[in-house]
Amino acid sequence: MTTDLLTAADLKALYGQGLALVQAGKPEQALPLFGRIIEANPTLAEARWQAAKILADADQFDRALDNAAVAAKLRPAEPAVWITWADITALDGRREMEKTFLDALKAAGINAALRLRLQDRFGAQRKASRPETGAAPKAGLDHIVALLDKEAFGPAQAEGSALLKLHPKSALLANLLAVALGAQGKTEQALAGFQHASRLDPFYAEAFLNAGREHERLGQAEAALRSFRAAIASAPGNEPALHAYVVMRNQASLPGRALRYAERLVAEHPKSVQGWVGLGNTLTLMRDYVGAEVALSKAVTLSRGKSAEALMLLAQAVSHQGRDDQALDFLDRALAQKPDYSMALHRKATILQMLGRFKDADPLFRRALELAPTDGEMWRGFVTGFKVKPDDPIIPQMESRIEDQALPDRARVGFAFALGKALEDAKQYDRAFTYIRQANETVRKLNPYDMTQRRDEVAAVQQALRGFDWAGTSVPGVSDAPVVFVTGMPRSGTTLVEQIIASHSRVTGAGELALLQTACQKLLIGGGGNSAIVRMLANVPVAEMAQVGQDFIRTLTDRFPGADVITDKSISTYMYIGLVRLILPKSRIIVVRRDPRDTLLSIYRNRFPEGTHLYAYDLQDLAHYYATFVEMVDFWRAEAPDAFTEVQYETLVSNPEHESRRLIAAAGLEWQDACLNFHQTTRKVDTLSVYQVRQPISGGSVKAWERYEADLTPMIDVLRDRGLLPD
């Protein structure tokens, strides 16, 4: 069937298939079917309505609103269509979209009562609903509220139940009764009560909000998110609902989907401490540390310095900008407010660890673990900082924790990676890989990944850059700042190489900034990183190219005032080698190579920050991803062979002085003996190699893959088939 030949029967069948997929929880598969129906017959309101709901659930609000508006125009007397349009408008949050909806609502062919309720959610009931009371007496309702405030939940339940029998249409009363039930741990009864309240008043935001909290307590994340969204749809300025939704999206490492709501929260409630904290945390997760600092500073000011959470997150934001002394001060202030704040203790220990102060970090880690014994990520962070001995009691402690069936998956991941590392330290390799595999399989379950994304990205970059006249093109107005970029696959030795260079007296090590490659991507690829929309470099104005370099150097200068030469160990710089040299002609680029079996094993046995390196948790995907790295290096070897220097990790560790001298020369520097004593350098190292980089150079990790050769077979087979194994 083609869409231009669809019969009425075809359309009906497609619609039925789409509905079945929606009911089966597969809306992403249903959307193309509704799209075919709309293409064949744009006047079918039902397909428009279904598409609008699916698109809204994915936060694709422009398309959702377009379909909802068309559906309302086609069915002006259908209440469900207007309710859906109102919900989407409320979730979208833009005032201009609200005006469009309200203007259309005036001509809607629906009853006056419904029109008023839909209108009021953008006006009088914007921040809180006014639910149906069902003629329940105010005095009785107030008394139940007072009992709840006093935590007299049993009496509140008894009075609420008796009063609801007399006034069965009171949504407010049903909600209060459900609150009393939930507070006593009667979860199923509470959820049934909140659902009853929502049936009595479908626009009762607080009933949805309370149901979301109950689902969250049960660990039912998707149900909680749906309830919080329903609360926002009913009252788009409701502070608790917006905050709860932002927190949950951030916890799921989806800050991009939290940002709209975090920004709305502070716009609607500019004096909300929790609102500014939520926005600051969202921006931190999005790596906008400057924006995060602004938001979190606002939270600290509004709380008069009393919000330990704001201070802790502010410390994190400034630490990411290289201001660790200030970060430690903020953490001390947070701990003065809340001495047993495990997250602040852990954050302080982590910063001390990155600064090489392992002895200072150790007691803080241990205290944090006492306070948060089931936080697997804290245990993983602690184990990263030292060599675990075979008889260390931490191993059986973690094994006991991970056996707890009630342990959430995200905590289990931390424990599994920590146990893998601890048992490796203890040379119990068979046991170690069991936990390493478990950790990776759990992360992959939580974060599905499609290698097509990576292949599309590589193809798009090559399409934009292939055949450019690199040698014959100069860009006026570029910066002549000397930056040394160290790049390569994660866990390939880039940290070691940067540490050697940063031990030079002229050099300041900046760590992994991840700024310039992001700017290069935006320069070439439109649509917020959509690799389907590519701009050829030849079509980019040279002034734009120069601006990218100037902005990057300005950021470096602000962050590292007075620095002579700066290193940037951003992993993905190899994607844009020619472009980087074009906009920063005085820069040097060093690509680190390592046996892929060791590189990929090291990636596989480590946990990366939430939402990053999602290819890393499957052995075959790792091998295919490595192939794209080799493809990009080969691309640049053909396009701009003089733009970079390659360093082989195994050669470096087997002949450190000769290779280090070559490395320093490639960085454009004169030799200094301090570069051989890199492990004594006291600069901050924010990397998974935080412990190893403080040790003298060693070949102990060379051919580590041989310990796990049988377990790594799926990865090695792909590498062999693609001709990527070393001779």
Please tell me the class of the 149-236 domain. Answer: mainly alpha
Do 149-236 and 246-372 agree at the fold level?
yes
Residues 6+ apart with CB under 8 A from 363: none
The CA distance from 596 to 620, in Å, is 12
Mapping DSSP onto H, E and C, the string for 84-140 reads HHHHHHHHHCCHHHHHHHHHHHCCCCCCHHHHHHHHHCCCCCCCCCCCCCCCCCHHH
Contacts of 280 (CB under 8 A, 6+ apart): 292, 293, 295, 296, 299, 310, 313, 314, 317
Beta bridge partners of 507: 565
pLDDT in tens, 66-100: 999 999 999 999 999 999 999 999 999 999 999 99
Q: Is 551 exposed, middle or buried (0-12, 13-18, 19+ CB in 10 A)?
A: middle
Helix (H) or strand (E) holding 29: helix 27-40
Give the pLDDT confidence score for residue 532 in this predicted structure. 46
Which parts of the chain sit beneath pLDDT 70?
1-4, 526-533, 678-700
Q: What is the per-residue pLDDT for 531?
A: 42
Domain-wise residue ranges, the chain: 3-120, 149-236, 246-372, 385-446, 451-721
Q: CA-based angle 646:693:612, to the nearest 5? A: 75
Cα–Cα distance between 406 and 374 in angstroms, integer? 10
Q: Which CATH number fits domain 451-721: 2.60.40.1220, 1.20.810.10, 3.40.50.300, 3.40.50.150?
A: 3.40.50.300
Q: Which two tokens stand for residue 47?
A: 């397909």
Determine the pLDDT at residue 267. 96
Residue 488 confidence (pLDDT): 95
Q: What is the reported pLDDT for 1?
A: 37
Q: How far apart are CA 229 and CA 57, in angstroms?
A: 9
Superfamily of chain region 3-120? Tetratricopeptide repeat domain (1.25.40.10)
The CA distance from 701 to 708, in Å, is 13
CB 716 within 8 Å of CB 708:
no
Phi, psi of 357 (to 5 degrees): -95, 65
Q: Is residue 647 classed as helix, strand or coil in its secondary structure? A: strand
Question: Percent of the chain at pLDDT above 90?
Answer: 72
Structure tokens at 679: 């492990």
* CATH code assigned to 246-372: 1.25.40.10
